[in-house]
């Protein structure tokens, strides 16, 4: 009987998750139709409300230290697809996300409708990205970038891509490093990481089977990036995040790799 409990729990959560995603789709569709009529919609507030109700369904127990800056480029380490609902529940933010998520059924469409920017290889649209972020900063809408370019298991921090921090060099735009950990220093959560060849549904099922998933989020001291070059800015973010998590910084592979470029929805 005890062996069945995690599966019963997961089924109940999965059904609640499907219902919540459907609710989100209806809300996003309503906002899209409302915008077509030339009316403004409180997109950021609605998205945060939706994330705040999503995280308990996933079994996430979030503890946050510090405060999110009101207008900042947020640079966070990246462990799981759950990083998005975690940060989205804590404040009104927009995201940069890998292009593959744009193709996910329903989720990709919803992300595009709420203004998510999608990272792709090629395209040479970094200048467009900076303009988009500048516009959002003027509206006090922080943007989250996972500048490692990929996920890790949380026991180390990959070197950050400096190019993705270019928007943080604009006057009046602060850069705020944010450190995310699943589990604790002594006992890191090994189920939450979405790494290697893992796929969404198996990873989601393992998360839903857990009684709960502990998440620690550290909002660190903002950095004024206007007077710094991109590499120095990336190094300062790396240092703050690694110190908060008490993990080593692992350099990227020395082989030539193209940095992710940005496409807009």
Each residue's pLDDT tens digit, 91-115: 888 887 777 777 777 777 777 777 7
Facing residues of 263 across strands? 118
End-to-end alpha carbon distance in the chain: 47
Mean pLDDT for the stretch of residues 137-164: 85
71 is written with which tokens?
């207008």
Residues 6+ apart with CB under 8 A from 47: 88, 92, 114
User: Measured between alpha carbons, how far is 80 from 201 in angstroms, rounded to an integer?
Assistant: 13
Highest-pLDDT range among 28-37, 79-88, 118-127, 225-234:
79-88
The set of residues, in sequence order, having a beta carbon less than 8 Å from that of 246 and lying 6+ positions away, is 185
What pLDDT sits at residue 13?
96
Question: Is the predicted pLDDT of residue 67 greater than 50, yes or no?
Answer: yes
Query: Is 90 exceeded by the pLDDT of residue 1?
Result: no
**CA 206 to CA 186: how far, in whole Å?**
21
- For position 262, what pLDDT does the model report? 39
pLDDT tens-digit map of 3-20: 788 889 999 999 999 999
Domain ranges of the chain: 59-198+212-263
Residue 183's DSSP bridge partners are 188
Rounded to the nearest 5°, which phi and psi values hold at 240?
-65, -45
């Amino acid at each position: 009987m005890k062996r069945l409990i995690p599966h019963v729990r997961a089924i109940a959560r999965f059904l609640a998750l499907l219902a919540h995603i459907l609710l989100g789709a209806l809300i996003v569709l309503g906002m899209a139709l409302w915008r077509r009529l030339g009316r403004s919609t409180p997109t950021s507030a609605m998205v945060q409300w939706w994330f705040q109700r999503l995280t308990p369904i996933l079994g996430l127990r979030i503890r946050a230290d510090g405060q999110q800056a009101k207008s900042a480029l947020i640079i966070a380490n990246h462990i799981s697809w759950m990083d998005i609902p975690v940060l989205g529940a804590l404040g009104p933010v927009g995201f940069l996300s890998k292009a593959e998520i744009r193709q996910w059924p329903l989720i990709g469409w919803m992300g595009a409708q709420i203004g998510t920017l999608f990272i792709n290889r090629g395209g040479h649209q970094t200048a467009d990205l900076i303009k988009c972020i500048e516009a959002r900063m003027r509206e006090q809408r922080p943007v989250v970038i996972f500048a490692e370019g990929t996920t890790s298991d949380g026991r180390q921090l990959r070197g950050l891509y400096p190019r993705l921090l270019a928007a943080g060099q604009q006057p009046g735009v602060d850069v705020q490093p944010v450190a995310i950990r699943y589990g604790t220093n002594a006992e890191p959560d090994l189920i939450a990481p979405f790494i290697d060849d893992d796929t969404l549904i198996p990873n989601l099922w393992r998360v839903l089977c857990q009684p709960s998933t502990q998440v620690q989020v550290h909002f660190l001291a903002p950095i004024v990036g206007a007077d710094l070059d991109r590499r120095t800015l990336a190094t300062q973010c790396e240092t703050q995040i690694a110190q908060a998590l008490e993990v080593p910084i692992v350099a990227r592979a020395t082989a030539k790799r193209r940095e992710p470029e940005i496409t807009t929805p």
